[in-house]
Structure 1
Amino acid sequence: MGTFREATALTALGDGEFGAVLDAEWSVGTRLHGGYLLAVLGRAACESAGGAGHPHVTAVSGTFIEPPEPGDAVARVETLRVGRSVAQVRAALVQEGRTRVEAHLTLGLLDDSDAWWTASEPVELPPEQDCFLAPIDAPGAGFRVPLMAVVEERIDPAHLAFAFGAPSRRGVIASWQRLADGSDWDPLSLLVALDPVPPVSYDLGLPGWVPTIQLSAYIRRLPVPGPIRVRLSATDVGGERMDEVAHIWDAKGRLVGQATQLAAVRLPA
């Protein structure tokens, strides 16, 4: 098992281009995880345009055009503007001459200060040790989830009825999460947690592949060391599309990230 930093490592190629080796461990089934791919582009953006004043990804809007394969890829970064408090860039993940993922990213400087005002309350969860540790061979999924070897996810037992053929249909799945390599969460790795597995469609009685079409995320502040709480919910499902809304709270109970994504889903006839 490699570390998150190793899995997102880059080699500078010049002219805003970086070589990457996409790691198959950061996959769901045979497809590389969307949050991981955005983290690779986020690291390229920070190395290209971050500098001392804009070291962190604070917002990203990513479009998933074509699934990349594990192995060599190129991250291309175009700096759009560098201001006093933000830098804005466009980034693309290219493989075999084709753009697979494209994103617009906003970089800035985050700190660990508390919110001036918030309506966000951390999701209530049982203690970590009382939650279900998600395995690589997920029950009911029909495929392996290598991501669960590098992300330690413990799901609230109250949200596991789908695994026994009796989904609650509330459209909510919540969990504790840690990086399995023992490293602390940071703004880039939070992008992985903001694209949680399993998808909330499982709790709606819709098992199967749920590919992300578009994902927008905000990183709000630097998380303190320790586990994070992740709550994934859906608002509306129809037309073979589903939204998923993710919120993350750090070990101090502060909101550190939020995301909304549009995903494809197969509905029963």
Structure 2
Amino acid sequence: MGTFQEATAVVRRGDVYEADLDPQWSVGGKLHGGYLLAVMGRAVCHGGTNDHPHPSVVSGAFVTAPAPGPAEIHVEPLRTGRSATQVRARLTQGGAVRIEALITLERLDEADSWWSGLEPVDLPSERECPRTPPEAPGGAFPVPLMEVIEQRLDPGRLGFMSGSPSRAGVIAGWQRLADGSDWDPLSLLVALDPVPSVNFDLGLTGWAPTIQLSAYIRRVPAPGPVRVRMHAADVTNGRMDETAYVWDSKDRLVAQATQLAAIRTPG
């Protein structure tokens, strides 16, 4: 098992960053969307300034799924101001754009909220939540991502595993990096794209590829596990929205995201 740091490593070659996309960070043979944005964020942070070392806003359009292996990341600075740097990044393979992202860099800290109207998700303790295996019995596809992410889902939200989805459109649980490292603003992009997606709780199995994802990193998380809650609001015309919130071990909201995914519904 490699570390998150190793899996997102980039090397600068002139004006281009080279990456080796790790197949372990995948779901059903497709590289995980949050992981891909983290690789792009690593390149952007590598070329950023000391004043703005952290990604705070990441908006990615997934044009087509990249394959594991070599990829290039092209970084185009847009503006550097007093409080933020804005950058455009493109991940390419074989000369074709696979993902395009707009990324804002800032300096984040661990300060508490001035105001918050959102309570942390209420979960049983970690030990009461079963760990998600890389290959669940009867699962539709393998999830190598669960070898590098230690995820423990709320047992009250697992009815879909026995054929009885709640149809509330909610998934929630605990997450840790399996390599033992603490979460940081970059790795939170992985936590914001939890597996399985909420279509399973709606009784809709199968892959739900991300079309667009917008993430907001609010602060540097405290050491320890994070709690994640994702829910859907509407499924229409083969499209499903998903909104995720992440709280750290001090009960602070550290990140949130909204994505639009493709989904197949009964005809």
> After superposition, what is the alpha-carbon deviation per residue over 1:58-93, rounded to whole angstroms, capped at 9, x for unaligned?
001000001111000001100000111100000000
Aligned residues: 267
Q: Secondary structure of the residue that 2:212 maps to in structure 1?
A: strand
SS in 2 for 1:111: coil
- 2:50 counterpart SS class: coil
Alignment match, 1:150: 148
1:155-234 matches, within 5 Å, as: 155-234=153-232
Distance in structure 1 (CA, Å) of the matches to 2:194 and 2:242: 9
For residues 229 and 211 of structure 1, the distance between their equivalents in structure 2, rounded to whole angstroms, comes to: 23
Residues 1:84 and 2:69 aligned together: no
Residues in 2 aligned to 1:252 and 1:155: alpha-carbon distance in whole angstroms? 19
Structure 1 counterpart of 2:4: 4
Find 2:121's aligned residue among 120, 123, 144. 123
**Post-superposition offset of 1:132:** 1.2
Secondary structure of the 2:206 match is coil
Q: Deviations over 1:128-148 (max 9, x none)?
A: 000010000134531100000
In 2, Cα distance between equivalents of 1:169 and 1:211: 20
| Structure 2 equivalent of residue 238 of structure 1 | 236
Shift of residue 120, structure 1, vs aligned partner:
1.3
Aligned match of 2:19: 20
Alpha-carbon offset, residue 231 of structure 1: 0.1
CA RMSD of aligned residues (A): 0.7
Q: Distance in 1 between matches of 2:130 and 2:170?
A: 16
For residues 106 and 59 of structure 1, the distance between their equivalents in structure 2, rounded to whole angstroms, comes to 5
TM-score under structure 1 length normalisation: 0.98
Aligned to 2:28: 29
SS at match of 2:201: helix
- Gapped regions of structure 2 (runs ≥ 5): none
Give unpaired runs (5+ residues) of structure 1. none
**One-letter amino acid of the counterpart of residue 13, structure 1:** R
Partner of 1:94: 92
d(CA) in 2 for partners of 1:134, 1:266: 24
Q: Which amino acid aligns with 1:207?
A: T
Aligned residue type for 2:24 = E
Q: Which runs of 4+ in 1 moved over 2 A?
A: 138-141
Q: Which residue of 2 aligns with 1:103?
A: 101
Amino acid in the other structure paired with 1:102: E
Q: What are the superposed Cα offsets for residues 189-226 of structure 1, whole Å, 9 maximum, x if unpaired? A: 00001011000000000010100000000000000000
Q: Normalized against structure 2, the TM-score is what?
A: 0.99
Relative to structure 1, is the Cα distance of residues 139 and 262 closer, same or farther in structure 2, using a 3 angstrom cutoff? farther
Alpha-carbon distance between aligned partners in 2 of 1:232 and 1:74, rounded to the nearest angstrom: 31
Q: Quote the sequence identity (%).
A: 63
Q: Structure 2 CA distance, aligned partners of 1:246 and 1:139? A: 26
Among 247, 252, 261, the alignment partner of 1:249 is 247
The residue number in structure 1 matching 2:260 is 262
The Cα offsets for residues 101-149 of structure 1, whole Å up to 9 and x where unpaired, read as: 1100000000000000001110000000000100001345311000000
